[in-house]
Amino acid sequence: MIVDRIENIGRHENLLEKAAKISEFTADSFLASCELNECQIEGADCRFTPMAMDSKPSVEKQREAHCGHIDIHIAATGRECLEWIPLSMLSKPDKYHEEADVEFFSDSFEGSRLFVEAGHFAAFLPEDAHKPLIAPEGASAGGVKILIERRVLPI
């Protein structure tokens, strides 16, 4: 997992191939005016999906992981609360959706809680499991979240 300011994403080019292209695409002026429309980032093999944050208590969320994607969460406005845990600590997934490259887990381990503030990102690698959009202490997170899925392995 990598957590940093979006302006620094280019520094992680060794792990996040095409990070410089993602950085261009997510310039502050763009994030401030983005519409909630999915699109592809040209030449980066990425799907860019802005969405309104709709958080729920941790017990209502399932852990997920991606076998062939890096899942990058960016808080365009507001903040997103997530839980992270190494995939190696979890048992076999409950189910895997090949088309979406997502597997879900029902293990009861508590993960490390992380807040991604506006202008920051968290990148979850294939060895990272996470619960997105957790409502801290039952409160709803506001704002817009940008999800970038970068294919890194054939599935």
Average pLDDT over residues 49-63: 80
Residue with tokens 């991604």: 116
| Six token digits for residue 50 | 């802005």
d(CA 71, CA 127): 11
- What pLDDT was estimated at residue 86? 95
Give the closest residue to 122 by CA, choosing from 63, 82, 78.
82
d(CA 26, CA 8): 11
Identity of the amino acid at 87:
L
| Six token digits for residue 130 | 């996470």
Identity of the amino acid at 62:
Q
Does the global pTM surpass 0.95?
Answer: no
Mean pLDDT is highest, among 7-16, 70-79, 101-110, for 101-110
**What residues does 83 pair with on adjacent strands?**
113, 131
Indicate the fold that domain 2-151 takes in CATH: Jelly Rolls (2.60.120)
For residues 9 and 24, the answer to whether their CB atoms sit within 8 Å is no
Q: What does the domain layout of the chain look like in residue ranges?
A: 2-151
Q: Which of 71-80, 81-90, 92-101 has the lowest average pLDDT?
A: 71-80
